[in-house]
Structure 1
């Protein structure tokens, strides 16, 4: 299925292209201090990063029907990336969303709009049933995204992903299609997001602050 271009106001998502490699790499290099704390790493040690190779891998994953690789644009300028991954159809019908945004575009609602656009496409066009986002407990800016959109808190995944040199805990948030019959973006725009949907119980907050055995 073709990867769409979707927009809302000045924010849009479109398929990533090989010619985006230079702009993506520039944002990652210039914003390293901003993003390093949240970067996925390898438990086997430092490895080189090939931007064009990474884009090719994302595109191949899309051709296999397992992912949707987007860039986020603000006023037509590349502002970040959003990837829908682990797409599964059939009885599961689910996928996971991950994203990053350049620092100069932070605070402009680009990320929640991009996430809402991608989620609505997955529910309404692909027929998926569940969308998941996993976020480190320390990542307050990313947590604001799921709070704004009303992704429902589902639990704590201990030492879930290797980030910035170690295995890190993540909070898990999700939505199922029945929760947003009119769409994620529309619900947010209309101010109908359940205010406590993304609230993390104090017990899980405490557990996330506790060193793993």
Structure 2
């Protein structure tokens, strides 16, 4: 097997759905990504972990965004996380990120996502999550994908309902969100469930139509 040159970044992964394209964000995406994030600040930050005050903000600091992209390249090379920009008509519309990949006996990961408010309600995020789950089960060979959502985040939970992802219960004070330890509803799918429902999910959300 050929060895990867240590200074060479890993090849980006592209995922193609019915209407969306997904790939790792790169430094050249900064201006567009920054505009979307700043415009959606109030829409998004109430559902996200707070940033440490002493850390540069990648939303406004290009060098911080470049460091973010570089770290994500490292994560991808190590196989610990695979983060994707969600593109609609070639423009940044959000992200769907596959994080916390654990191998060994667990073979699991978590998925998180956000979308530009201007694109909400069109099913783009559902399509993106379906693509990432297909990638997790069929290319990474994982056994379990988990998505954890603040109970009152009805828009995000609606995505789980559309994909008919199994709900497992509530984890109390599970993650710090916007400065508060929040309960989270835990959703999950196993590889057995994926393969039982694969044709339905791919046909409904992924396959390109003429």
TM-score, with structure 2 as normaliser: 0.82
Within-5 A mapping of 1:50-129? 50=58, 51-129=65-143
What CA distance in whole angstroms lies between the structure 1 residues aligned with 2:197 and 2:103?
A: 20
SS at 1:82 equivalent: strand
* CA distance in structure 1 between the partners assigned to 2:202 and 2:162 by the alignment: 10
Contact 1:31 1:103 in 2 (8 A): yes
CA pair 30-83 structure 1, distance change in 2 beyond 3 A: same
Q: Distance in 1 between matches of 2:128 and 2:148?
A: 16
2:57 pairs with 1:49? yes
User: Which residue of 7, 19, 23 corresponds with 2:16?
Assistant: 7
Residues 70, 82 of structure 1: 8 Å contact kept: yes
Question: How does the TM-score come out when normalised to structure 1?
Answer: 0.81
Residues 1:26 and 2:35 are matched in the alignment: yes
The match for 1:145 among 150, 159, 182 is 159
Unaligned runs of 5+ in 1: 192-213
Q: CA deviation at 1:130?
A: 0.3
- Specify whether residues 19 and 160 from structure 1 end up closer, same or farther in structure 2 by C-alpha distance, changes over 3 A only: same
Q: Partners of 1:126 and 1:47 in 2: how far apart? A: 32
**Which residue number in structure 1 is paired with residue 46 of structure 2?**
37
CA spacing shift, 1:128–1:165, aligned 2, 3 Å:
same
Structural RMSD (CA) = 2.0
3-state SS of paired residue (2:142): coil
Structure 2 stretches lacking a partner, 5+ long:
1-9, 59-64, 205-210
Q: Using the alignment, how far apart are the partners of 2:156 and 2:170 within structure 1?
A: 16
Contact 1:13 1:71 in 2 (8 A): yes
Number of residue pairs matched by the alignment: 189
Tell me, in whole angstroms, the C-alpha distance in 1 between the residues paired with 2:126 and 2:97.
14
Separation in 1 of the partners of 2:141 and 2:197?
Answer: 13
How far residue 166 of structure 1 moved from its aligned partner, in angstroms, is 1.1
SS of match in other structure, 2:195: coil
